[in-house]
């Protein structure tokens, strides 16, 4: 477990360093995510070599378990920052209601627009070339 | 000084107390969420934050003291973001098959998030410097603060608005998607991550792992696209 955490932290560390060095508008942890993705892809490209070169914890599913354990408690990690926000709600005071309305309407619009676009494009593609891209729904017999 | 008070003074200064309070608030919030069958309104982030804020208020604890302990939890946000690679990799086949709908939804969602914030902000007569802090509201906190600062807005205000947006999205995503009869978990997750960054992603992971994987991608892509689009969009503000 320590080894898995170390790998995750190492990916973040390299990501932070790259973010600083290149001035990309992407936070270090997101670059770290891309690096870990690259690691996983390379690991499975060499299914015979990987177990010999890498420690067992990195190939037998423990890495996946550690990562999923972290993600299962993602909600917890927003609590400290959120509690700080409660103390700073005074910055909203002047435009409070107008700001709250903008946030509410804009968030609903964004959620709806994103999901509708996703569904529309994916349906359109499924119709355009049903043979090249058999979707899961199509294989199933209709009830 | 009485004995009890001395103990309190000692404990309230150690990280242990506030770390434990944070975890306890979350455990209680998570139990409430489970008891209500993960009802959107019983969002564990919202409930845990409310509980923690109440404890801080009642005990008169300054946030800096609280954060001494809570920073250990806060720190895990970084590694957890890195760990998003794991579900993303696990569902890579689904993700690769959904590339076109994802990119289309990314562009539409990102533009709607920005444009609606700017236009509504102007319609409600909000001054320009506040609108600038409002523009990156759907993006993860660190990036949003950076964008707001570059554009001449207040980063703290941006952080507050980002958190409010996250809460709003995390609570509304499930009822809204049900109302619109969207059952595709990829679309639901992607929308949650795009509109409500990490809080939306946390919600998505509670509902479904595929939704979580897509929320994680949306979070990352939208941070990138908004950082590029926001400065352009703000120049239209006069």
Residues B70 and B106 occupy one common structural domain = no
Q: Which of B75, B109, B135 is the last residue of a domain?
A: B75
B168 with B198, same domain: the answer is yes
Alpha-carbon distances of B201 from A100, B95, B147, B216, B220, rounded to whole Å: 21, 16, 21, 6, 11
Considering the domain architecture, whether residues B95 and B171 belong to the same structural domain is answered as: yes
Per-residue pLDDT for B163 more than 50?
A: yes
- State whether B210 and B122 are in the same domain: yes
B56 shares its domain with B169: no
Q: Using the beta-carbon criterion (under 8 Å), do A86 and B53 form an inter-chain contact?
A: yes
What chain B residue is nearest to A136 in terms of C-alpha separation?
B94
Side-chain-side CA neighbours of residue B219 (13 Å): 36
Q: Is the dihedral of CA B157, B159, B164, B168 positive or negative?
A: positive
> So what's the pLDDT on residue A85?
82
- Give A46→chain B minimum CA distance, Å: 16
Per-residue pLDDT of chain A (143 residues; tens, 9 = 90+): 789 999 999 999 999 999 889 877 678 888 999 999 999 999 988 888 888 888 887 878 889 999 999 998 888 999 998 888 887 777 777 777 888 899 999 999 999 999 999 999 999 988 887 655 455 544 455 55
Decide if A83 and B205 are in contact by the 8 Å CB cutoff: no
pLDDT tens by residue, B187-222: 999 999 999 999 999 999 988 889 999 999 999 888
Convert the pLDDT of each residue in B43-101 to its tens digit.
899 999 999 999 998 998 888 889 888 999 989 989 999 999 999 999 999 899 999 99
| Residues B192, B169 contacting (CB under 8 angstroms) | yes
Question: Where does a domain end: B40, B75, B110?
Answer: B75
pTM of the model: 0.84
Q: Do B114 and B198 share a domain, yes or no? A: yes
Whether B99 and B127 share a structural domain: yes
What confidence tens digit (pLDDT) does each residue in B106-138 have?
A: 999 999 999 999 999 889 888 888 888 888 999
Residue B15: is its pLDDT beyond 80?
A: yes
CA of B94 vs chain A CAs: smallest distance (Å):
10
Residues B60 and B17 in one domain: yes
With beta carbons under 8 A apart, name residues in chain A contacting B53: 83, 86-87
Contact assessment for residue A104 and residue B195, using Cβ atoms and an 8 Å cutoff: no
ipTM, interface predicted TM-score of the complex? 0.87
**Looking at residue A138, what is its pLDDT?**
47
> Which residue of chain B is at minimal alpha-carbon distance from A8?
B79
| B5 pLDDT above the threshold of 80 | no
pLDDT value for B230: 86
- What is residue A8's predicted lDDT score, i.e. its pLDDT? 95
Question: Who among B125, B127, B198 is closest to A78 (CB)?
Answer: B198
For A111-120, b/e burial (b = at least 16 CB within 10 A) is bbbbbbbbbe
Average pLDDT over residues B15-20: 91
Question: Could you tell me if B153 and B213 lie in one domain?
Answer: yes
Give the span between the Cα atoms of A11 and A33, in whole angstroms: 7
Q: Is A138's Cβ below 8 Å from some Cβ in B?
A: no
Q: Flag if B101 and A121 touch (Cβ within 8 Å).
A: yes
Is B89 found in the same domain as B50? no
Q: Are B38 and B207 in contact (CB under 8 A)?
A: yes
CB contact under 8 A, B71 and A80: yes
**pLDDT of amino acid B21:** 93
**Hey, is the C-beta of A30 within 8 angstroms of any chain B C-beta?**
yes
Give the number of domains in chain B.
2
**What percentage of residues in chain B have a pLDDT greater than 90?**
51
Residues B193 and B112 in one domain: yes
- DSSP three-state, residue A46: coil
Are B176 and A66 a contacting pair at CB < 8 A? no
Beta carbons of B196 and B140 less than 8 angstroms apart = no
Indicate whether B190 and B91 sit together in one domain: yes
Q: What is the mean pLDDT of residues B210-237?
A: 88
Please give the residue range of the domain that contains residue B22.
Answer: 3-75
pLDDT for the residue A131: 56
Residue in chain B closest to A124 (alpha carbons) equals: B101
A64 within 8 A of B132, measured Cβ to Cβ: no
pLDDT of residue B128: 84
- pLDDT at residue A47, as a whole number: 81
**Above 60 in pLDDT, residue B103?**
yes
Chain B residue closest in CA terms to A66: B83
């Amino acid at each position: 477990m320590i080894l898995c955490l170390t790998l995750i932290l190492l990916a973040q560390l390299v990501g932070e360093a790259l973010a600083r060095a290149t001035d990309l508008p992407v936070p270090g942890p997101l670059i770290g995510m891309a690096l870990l993705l690259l690691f996983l892809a390379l690991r499975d490209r060499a299914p015979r070599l990987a177990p010999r070169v890498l420690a067992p914890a990195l190939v037998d599913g423990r890495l996946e378990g550690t990562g999923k354990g972290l993600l299962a408690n993602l909600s917890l990690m927003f609590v400290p920052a959120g509690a700080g926000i409660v103390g700073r709600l005074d910055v909203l005071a002047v435009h409070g209601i107008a700001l709250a309305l903008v946030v509410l309407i804009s968030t609903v619009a964004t959620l709806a627009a994103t999901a509708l676009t996703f569904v529309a494009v994916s349906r359109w593609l499924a119709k355009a070339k049903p043979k090249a891209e058999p979707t899961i729904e199509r294989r199933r017999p209709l009830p | 000084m009485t004995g009890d008070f001395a103990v309190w003074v000692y404990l309230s200064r150690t990280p242990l107390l506030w770390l434990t309070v944070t975890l306890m608030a979350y455990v209680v919030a998570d139990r409430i969420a489970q008891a209500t069958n993960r009802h959107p309104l019983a969002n564990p982030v919202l409930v845990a934050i409310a509980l923690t804020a109440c404890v801080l208020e009642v005990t008169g604890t300054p946030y800096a003291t609280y954060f001494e302990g809570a920073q250990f939890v806060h720190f895990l946000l970084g590694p957890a973001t890195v760990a998003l690679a794991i579900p993303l990799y696990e569902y890579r086949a689904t993700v690769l098959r959904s590339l076109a709908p994802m990119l289309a939804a990314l562009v539409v969602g990102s533009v709607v998030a920005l444009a609606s914030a700017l236009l509504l902000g102007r319609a409600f007569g909000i001054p320009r410097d506040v609108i600038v802090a409002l523009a990156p509201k759907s993006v993860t906190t660190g990036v949003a603060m950076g964008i707001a600062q570059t554009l001449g807005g207040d980063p703290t205000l941006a952080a507050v608005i980002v958190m409010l947006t996250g809460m709003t999205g995390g609570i509304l995503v499930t009822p809204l998607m049900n109302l619109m009869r969207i059952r595709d978990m990829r679309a639901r997750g992607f929308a949650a991550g795009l509109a409500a960054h990490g809080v939306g992603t946390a919600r998505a992971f509670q509902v479904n792992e595929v939704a979580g994987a897509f929320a994680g991608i949306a979070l990352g892509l939208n941070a990138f696209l908004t950082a590029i689009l926001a400065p352009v969009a703000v120049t239209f503000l006069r």
